[in-house]
Structure 1
Amino acid sequence: MPKQTRKPTWAEIGIFLCISVFFLEWASDFLIPLVAAFLGSLILRPVQRKAMSLGIPNGITAFLVCFAAGVAIVIAVWTFSNPISQLVNDLPAMINELRNTPNAAAETLDKIGDAAEAAQEAVAGKEDVPAMEVKVVENSSFLGSLVTSAPVLLGQIVLTIVLLFFLVSSGSTFERKLVECMPNFANKRATVQIVQTVAQKLGQYLGGITLINLGLGVVIGLAMAAWGLPNPYMFGVIAFTLNFVPYIGAIFGALLAAIVGFNEFHTAWSAILIFATYMALTSIEGQFVTPYIISNRLKLNPAVVFITVAFFAWIWSVVGMVIAVPLLITAKVLLDQSPSTRPIALFLGEANEQFKKDGGAA
């Protein structure tokens, strides 16, 4: 008689989840570059295979990819560090001016002004000011944490590029070793299918969203230039970058543009209209362009996407918000493979086409 396996209790599941969350936060400095590099290697799998078909060794492909990534990061930092740093330094004064304006619309941003004051004083080193607690730097505001965590972020970027080099240069070794660990042919075939599906879905999402964000950045940069804002190209770069963070990125970018607009024109209505322009463009992108290009092949539950972004923002800060959706895509592909977990995958998003043909969950 086969031995029956005992199902875990709800208490055991809860303890496991709590320990998992603690571990994710505790080991974030190592896990963030590790996860980013692994996702990057999956995304670059088609490029790697194309290079192999052209006779280019994996080592050369890995070097070219990592070198291009490093050069792009250096150029971006060199080009936009000064205007963005100036904007960060001037932002508290802009919000204070906005708060002191006797206008009902400006008074609605009173809480934003309080946050900016706390950020300014935290950066100045005043410890007697209560501030919002975030990961990496305790008892610091969000803006202060971005400033003080720059060396950690730089180290994570370097580690990500190094790990990405080894993963890409190893070619299909990782996938082959993973397949060899499987006990039978069915499991081996399922493993290959999982890796290929994850790479395909991530490539579709990140490739499509990058092109969409690039177009959105150009459009928003032109719109801000039409409004007469200083450094409109900077707002295009900000829009391109922040739009990788669903929902939250668009709101933050629109608020930033509105504050700069108020400081430039000194009227609340100008700030409101600039905010509306930014949000209208991102809404058109989110409601029409992205669903048309991406969502026909990849549909996720919007509520789950927002919760996932908020969760990884909590445990992994800014980087967590960027890689939250790729991790959600990977989790959905993995959950799609087993009949016992397929209902969870269906909750995360629309069923995979293959499993629709198979008749759904068993």
Structure 2
Amino acid sequence: MDKKIKPNIPAYFYWSATIALIIVFLIVGRSILVPLAWAVLFSFLLVPLVIFLEKHGWKRPLAILTSLILFLIIIGALFYFLGSQVVAISSELPSITGKLSVYINDVKDFVESHLNIIPQGSDLQKILVGQAEKMASFFLKHVTTIGQTLMYVFLMPVFVYFLLYYRELPAKFVRERYRDRENRESVSHVFFKIQKMIEKYLVGVLWLTATTAVMDFIVLISLGVNYALFFAVMIALLNLIPYVGNLIAMIVVVGYALLTSDSLLVPLLTLGLLWVANILQENMVRPWLVGSSTKINAFIVLISVIVGGMVWGVSGMVLFIPIVGVVKIILEEVPTLRPFAVFLSDTGKVTEEEEPEKPDTGNEES
């Protein structure tokens, strides 16, 4: 009898196909997955307050709604402050554009006198203005992306409510799905590690954001830069995007200082001090507050930011870091996949965390 010969397909083909399908799924389902991912993070942020209210006799729906309203008020106040400051800064545009024209003419004169290049008419000015317009178009494109992301805000409160209301479902699922004690404890341990990682990550991010805002505010206010609080908050928020966000924020702040100051000393000092603050944040504060939670090496963090930006835009640049942290934990618990976890690790080792004797089911989330 003729034996059927099965095609010998390399294992890397299956892995490549799986990764490709996951990326396609993330892109196609971004309209739901992005607000859902944000909702998961926000639910972890709000669950301590919800549990506190429940322990003091509040019904769960009322505790969740109260926590959500307080959270939305804080977020709304933050965006109102940022928006009002942007409107105030836009009133200075005539003087800023006038100063920009002066700098363009200075550059033109420098080129003519030192490089023996005589631009025809205002060609140099047209070139620089054209490049500025391209940069503005690029910025507006990403602002539009942010605006589209903000549209997801209408879905987030709904997702957060149900995630908090049904937060015991993962534990119940594990109990029903895995009847034998060994498998049940193993899966419960994975859920516990993911929960603790996200909690530590959120606390670290909050402290990092606050520390960044305070440090940069002190720098900017000491140099006499206008709207110091606004720019400090902007830098802190953009700093949520590792490597890329802080660079964009520094360009904006230094550019504003250059166009609104009478002396070059102020923008130079602004650049220098913000750069020093950034070095301290990236090499001391971030590894201590945030890096210890996800335990992902810097190269994987950078790749996560790039891929996240390609797949989910600005939201992906922030969300993919904890997502990769979750993936790393899952890989650590599967013996055949553990080498991949080592590849993601910042130490090249797979670390184990001890599970508490009685984990608080009130903190478990979906």
TM-score normalised per structure 1: 0.78
Q: Percent identity?
A: 18
Asked if 2 retains the 8 angstrom alpha-carbon contact of 1:83 and 1:231, the reply is yes
Q: Decide which moves more: 76-85 or 203-212.
A: 76-85
1:118 to 108, 127, 134: 134
Find the aligned partners of 2:25 and 2:130 in 1 and give their Cα distance.
33
Whether 1:63 aligns to 2:59 is no
Find the aligned partners of 2:130 and 2:26 in 1 and give their Cα distance.
31
The corresponding residue for 1:275 is 271
Whether 1:228 aligns to 2:224 is yes
Asked if 2 retains the 8 angstrom alpha-carbon contact of 1:62 and 1:168, the reply is yes
The corresponding residue for 1:291 is 287
* Higher alpha-carbon Rg: 2
Q: Decide which moves more: 315-324 or 19-28.
A: 19-28
Deviations 1:133-177 (A, max 9, x none): xxxxxxxx3423424762x33331121121011110223124322
Amino acid in the other structure paired with 1:146: V
Deviation (angstroms), 1:345 = 1.2
Find the aligned partners of 1:287 and 1:82 in 2 and give their Cα distance.
33
Find the aligned partners of 2:292 and 2:220 in 1 and give their Cα distance.
31
Find the aligned partners of 1:7 and 1:17 in 2 and give their Cα distance.
16
Deviation (angstroms), 1:211 = 1.4
The corresponding residue for 1:137 is none
Relative to structure 1, is the Cα distance of residues 196 and 156 closer, same or farther in structure 2, using a 3 angstrom cutoff? Answer: same
Deviation (angstroms), 1:7 = 7.5
Map residues 92-103 of structure 1 onto 2, 5 A cutoff.
93=97, 101-102=106-107
Find the aligned partners of 1:98 and 1:341 in 2 and give their Cα distance.
57
Amino acid in the other structure paired with 1:162: V
1:162 to 158, 164, 183: 158
Find the aligned partners of 1:212 and 1:284 in 2 and give their Cα distance.
11
The corresponding residue for 2:121 is none
* Structure of greater relative contact order (alpha carbons < 8 Å, 6+ residues apart): 2
Whether 1:181 aligns to 2:181 is no
The corresponding residue for 1:107 is none
Whether 1:319 aligns to 2:299 is no
Asked if 1 retains the 8 angstrom alpha-carbon contact of 2:53 and 2:63, the reply is yes
Asked if 1 retains the 8 angstrom alpha-carbon contact of 2:50 and 2:67, the reply is no
The corresponding residue for 2:18 is 16
Deviation (angstroms), 1:60 = 2.9
The corresponding residue for 1:136 is none
The corresponding residue for 1:27 is 29
Asked if 1 retains the 8 angstrom alpha-carbon contact of 2:193 and 2:353, the reply is no
Count of aligned pairs: 327
The corresponding residue for 1:345 is 341
The 3-state SS of whatever aligns with 1:171 is: coil
Amino acid in the other structure paired with 1:354: E
Relative to structure 1, is the Cα distance of residues 76 and 112 closer, same or farther in structure 2, using a 3 angstrom cutoff? Answer: farther
Deviation (angstroms), 1:268 = 5.2
Relative to structure 1, is the Cα distance of residues 197 and 13 closer, same or farther in structure 2, using a 3 angstrom cutoff? Answer: closer
Relative to structure 1, is the Cα distance of residues 12 and 335 closer, same or farther in structure 2, using a 3 angstrom cutoff? Answer: closer
Whether 1:144 aligns to 2:141 is yes
Find the aligned partners of 1:206 and 1:275 in 2 and give their Cα distance.
29
Asked if 1 retains the 8 angstrom alpha-carbon contact of 2:60 and 2:165, the reply is yes
The 3-state SS of whatever aligns with 1:340 is: helix
Find the aligned partners of 2:101 and 2:16 in 1 and give their Cα distance.
45
CA RMSD of aligned residues (A): 3.2
Whether 1:172 aligns to 2:168 is yes
Asked if 1 retains the 8 angstrom alpha-carbon contact of 2:209 and 2:240, the reply is yes
Q: Point out where structure 2 has 5 or more consecutive residues left out of the alignment.
A: 1-7, 112-125, 355-366
The corresponding residue for 2:352 is 354
The 3-state SS of whatever aligns with 1:23 is: helix
Asked if 2 retains the 8 angstrom alpha-carbon contact of 1:43 and 1:202, the reply is no
2:300 to 304, 312, 315: 304
Whether 1:330 aligns to 2:326 is yes
Asked if 2 retains the 8 angstrom alpha-carbon contact of 1:43 and 1:199, the reply is no
Amino acid in the other structure paired with 1:330: V
Asked if 1 retains the 8 angstrom alpha-carbon contact of 2:294 and 2:322, the reply is no
The corresponding residue for 1:201 is 197
The corresponding residue for 1:359 is none
Deviation (angstroms), 1:321 = 1.3
Find the aligned partners of 2:190 and 2:127 in 1 and give their Cα distance.
46
The 3-state SS of whatever aligns with 1:59 is: helix
Relative to structure 1, is the Cα distance of residues 76 and 295 closer, same or farther in structure 2, using a 3 angstrom cutoff? Answer: closer
Map residues 85-96 of structure 1 onto 2, 5 A cutoff.
90=93, 93=97
Deviation (angstroms), 1:63 = 1.4
Q: Decide which moves more: 262-271 or 73-82.
A: 262-271
The corresponding residue for 2:210 is 214
Relative to structure 1, is the Cα distance of residues 310 and 148 closer, same or farther in structure 2, using a 3 angstrom cutoff? Answer: closer
TM-score normalised per structure 2: 0.78
Q: Point out where structure 1 has 5 or more consecutive residues left out of the alignment.
A: 1-5, 105-109, 123-140, 357-362
